[in-house]
């Protein structure tokens, strides 16, 4: 498979976990790939999770906000790879004392959407509240042949909160020593847990 799912951060002792984004109206749109670049607030922030007071170190990808929150180093890697049509929305990370631990973080908000899920082979379960969206599957299968060559980071049609990345780009970022990144094989994803 030429693609991986890009998941938010990794659970590593000592690395901060963050709460959901603050200071952003309609933040739920970030999980759907709605463009937010226009009017993005200057005070957008994520706080370190107070339930993990000893976890204060910063990685290049942070866990906890249910979104891809990445460092300036990941932003540069995406820019160097000429990834297009992905908003990188600035966000501050606030430490346990209420001070800015770093202002060099970004929410990755891909704008490209591809209808490439093999619904039958994946054994999808449709969302009861929104019958036009998927909430789970037996094993996610992607139809690689329908993904445009220009799509390096994109969302899945009918399952927009999932972000897909080309394997070679993920491998390149890992080879650069970027920390906290989490990529999984689509076939191992069920949407549960």
Please report, for the chain, the start and end positions of each structural domain, with discontinuous segments joined by +. 3-188
pLDDT at residue 193, as a whole number = 54
- pLDDT tens for the 193 residues of the chain, in order: 799 999 999 999 999 999 999 999 999 999 888 999 999 999 999 999 999 999 999 999 999 988 999 999 999 999 999 999 999 999 999 999 999 999 999 999 999 999 999 999 999 999 999 889 999 999 999 999 999 999 999 999 999 999 999 999 999 999 999 999 999 999 999 997 5
123: left (phi over 0), alpha (psi -120 to 50) or beta: left
pLDDT at residue 102, as a whole number = 98
Q: Are 94 and 100 in contact (CB under 8 A)?
A: yes
Cα 117–149–108 angle (5° rounding)?
Answer: 70
Question: How many CB atoms within 10 Å of residue 75?
Answer: 19
pLDDT at residue 110, as a whole number = 98
Single pTM value for the model: 0.95
């Amino acid at each position: 498979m030429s693609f991986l799912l890009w998941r938010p951060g990794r659970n590593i002792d000592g690395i901060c976990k963050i709460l959901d984004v603050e200071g952003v109206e309609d933040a739920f749109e970030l999980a759907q790939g709605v463009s937010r670049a226009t009017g993005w607030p200057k005070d957008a922030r994520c706080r370190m999770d107070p339930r993990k007071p000893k976890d204060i170190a910063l990685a290049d990808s942070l866990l906890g906000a249910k979104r891809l929150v990445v460092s300036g180093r990941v932003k540069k890697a995406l820019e160097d790879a000429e990834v297009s049509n992905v908003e990188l929305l600035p966000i501050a990370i606030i430490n346990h004392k209420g001070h800015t631990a770093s202002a060099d973080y970004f929410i990755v908000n891909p704008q490209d959407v591809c209808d490439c899920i093999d619904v039958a082979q994946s054994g999808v379960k449709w969302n009861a509240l929104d019958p036009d969206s998927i909430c789970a599957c037996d094993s996610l299968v992607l139809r690689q042949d329908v993904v445009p060559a220009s799509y390096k980071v994109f969302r899945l049609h009918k399952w927009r909160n999932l972000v897909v990345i080309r394997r070679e780009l993920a491998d390149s970022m890992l080879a650069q020593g970027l920390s906290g990144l989490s990529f999984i094989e689509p076939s191992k994803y069920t949407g549960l847990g």
